[in-house]
Chains A and B, each alone.
Chain A
Amino acid sequence: MSGMSIIPKTIARLLFPFVAFFGAYIVVHGHLSPGGGFPGGVVIASAFLMMAIAYGLSGLKRESALVRAEALETAGGVAIVLLSLLGISLGLNFLQNVLPTGFLGELFSGGILPFLYLGVGLKVTAGILLVLLSMLFAFGGEE
């Protein structure tokens, strides 16, 4: 599919870093303010989708784009499972909090909770982007 005229292209190019940074802020501060991995992943995916709609998909090959998105999603899922198996390797329960829980309210607190949210954010971003890219490629074709 071809892109749009010059005004949406400029606006998308200017707004993309702000939206992606805001989504990353929501994901990273999941244990200090409302949000977490799930809504933050959706915000980052919508930033990438805004660029894809404004510039068009004519520069992408179908197989390589889908394979890259699938690799990111499985990496996020495997990260969650490996982190939760960390407790079993030390002799404790599954999903046990093994890293030290620091002071309340700081960024490095809460054991393995921030890393679990990072895995979920990566998985949700890649999943939504994969769904929308496969639909766009099936309808538009590649010229």
Chain B
Amino acid sequence: MNERMAGLMLATIVGVLLIVAVYVSLPEFGSFPLRNIGGNRENAIGQRILENAPRETGSGNVVTGVVWGYRGYDTLGEATILFTAVVGVVALFRAFGRRRA
């Protein structure tokens, strides 16, 4: 019981601190091109990508243009992670039926 109460109090304190920190330091909800965090006073980079993506990549879906056109290396790494996880699960379940512990 002691560990459970300590965990509950820790989670409550962390939650309240996070909510207060988010509402104090971020600009209000719904102001997309502005970036008033810290000392920045210019527009976000998403605005420039929204203006140039349909013409440069040629796809109607701007998220597809970002995923494969502007950030292609990240998607290649993610495909590698998927392959590694599948190999790990198959290797773990290959010796399942032989060893009856």
Contact = CB atoms under 8 A, between A and B. Distances in A.
Direct contact of A and B (CB under 8 A): yes
Interface of A: 30-34, 36, 66, 70, 73, 77, 80-81, 84, 95, 97, 101-102, 104-105, 109-111, 113, 116-117, 120, 123-124, 127, 130-131, 134-135, 137-139, 141
Q: Is the interface of B mostly helix, strand, loop or mixed?
A: helix
Contact of A31 (B61, B85, B86, B97): B61
A110 B59 contact: yes
B58 A110 contact: yes
A108 to B, nearest CB: 10
A70 B63 CA distance: 30
B64 interface: yes
A117 B75 CA distance: 11
Given A111-B57, A127-B83, 7 more contacts: A70-B90, A73-B83, A104-B58, A110-B58, A111-B58, A134-B90, A135-B93
Interface in B38-73: 54, 57-61, 63-65, 67-69, 72-73
A80 B83 CA distance: 13
B8 interface: no
**Range, interface on chain B:** 20 to 34
B94 interface: yes
Contacts, number: 86
Contacts of A104: 54, 58, 60
B96 A109 contact: no
Nearest to A111: B58
Contacts of B69: 97, 113
